[in-house]
Amino acid sequence: MFQVLKNFYHKLGSYPWFYKISGKVIPFVGVLSISLIVISSIWGLFFSPTDAVQGDVYRIIYFHVPAVSVSQVIYYSMSVAAAVFLIWRMKMAGVYIKSLAPIGAAFTFIGLLSGAIWGQPTWGTWWVWDARLTSTLVLFLFYLAIIGMQSTFASRKSADTAVSIITLVGVVNLPIVKKSVDWWNTLHQPASITISGESSISNEMLIPLLLSILGVYLFVFFTGLLSMRAEISTREQNKEWFKKLSSNN
């Protein structure tokens, strides 16, 4: 088992192998993710019951919760990739961080935007300086800093290393930011779904929500693979294997 994982990990570091495998996986993931998002949106918007307190406004949860949760997961996965890059110098980890950062920023922005649209009718304001909103905003700023840092380096290797260092320092700082804004101010409702223990949301609403979360995660996987392939093809465009591959097609 361990040997299989180790082999997989080593293969993952190879551009040609990744390019070949991802090309096979992408169509399935794309179709699955988009159909999941469509199904869960229709289910959530038209068929799930109306909320007793918030009315129909709550239905934006099917966009808000997946976007916010995936934006955090992307950042944590990027920090794992940053550690991998700094320790084992695996080039693929640099590609991963570079391609996933804009996607993460986009989903954080969607989360903030949908939160603002949700906040207007329920709290009566587009924006409050509340703990969760502030830490999501800080997450967005971290993403922007990573994307901005990317472009200031001429050499690709130093850009990847610099970005990995920032990502790691950011992930160390993120819990501190979270805790400190928690003491500062809190208005946001607590998380509705927890992995351990009872969820505070009824099953009829929970199932489409879980479907939409799954759909968005797969969608990130899909777009991540696409942009990693694009990044690899710009980095390796003069290499022998890439020329051979593109002349075959």
Question: Using CB under 8 A as the criterion, which residues of the chain lie in contact with other proteins when the complex forms?
Answer: 86, 138, 141-142, 145, 148-149, 152, 157-158, 161-162, 165-166, 168-170, 172-173, 176-177, 179-181, 183-184
Of 61 and 82, which has the nearer Cβ to other proteins?
A: 82
Of 173 and 234, which has the nearer Cβ to other proteins?
A: 173
CB 107 within 8 A of CB 71: yes
Q: For 143, how many CA atoms within 13 A lie in the half-sphere containing its CB?
A: 24
**Cα 76–Cα 160–Cα 244 angle in degrees, nearest 5:** 110
What is the smallest separation between the CB atom of 122 and other proteins, expressed in angstroms? 26
Of 58 and 143, which has the nearer Cβ to other proteins?
A: 143
What is the smallest separation between the CB atom of 170 and other proteins, expressed in angstroms? 7
What is the smallest separation between the CB atom of 103 and other proteins, expressed in angstroms? 20
Q: For 222, how many CA atoms within 13 A lie in the half-sphere containing its CB?
A: 18
CB 220 within 8 A of CB 72: no
Of 187 and 230, which has the nearer Cβ to other proteins?
A: 187
What is the smallest separation between the CB atom of 152 and other proteins, expressed in angstroms? 5
Of 29 and 146, which has the nearer Cβ to other proteins?
A: 146
Q: Which amino acid is at 236?
A: E
DSSP string spanning 201-219?
S-HHHHHHHHHHHHHHHHH
Question: Which of 39, 69, 59 is CA-nearest to residue 205?
Answer: 59
What is the smallest separation between the CB atom of 242 and other proteins, expressed in angstroms? 25
d(CA 113, CA 124): 15
Of 53 and 154, which has the nearer Cβ to other proteins?
A: 154
What is the smallest separation between the CB atom of 139 and other proteins, expressed in angstroms? 9
Of 18 and 85, which has the nearer Cβ to other proteins?
A: 85
> What are 60's strand-pairing partners?
none
Please give the backbone phi and psi of residue 186, each rounded to the nearest 5 degrees, phi first: -145, 130
What is the smallest separation between the CB atom of 185 and other proteins, expressed in angstroms? 9
Burial of 21 (0-12, 13-18, 19+ CB in 10 A): middle
d(CA 18, CA 12): 6
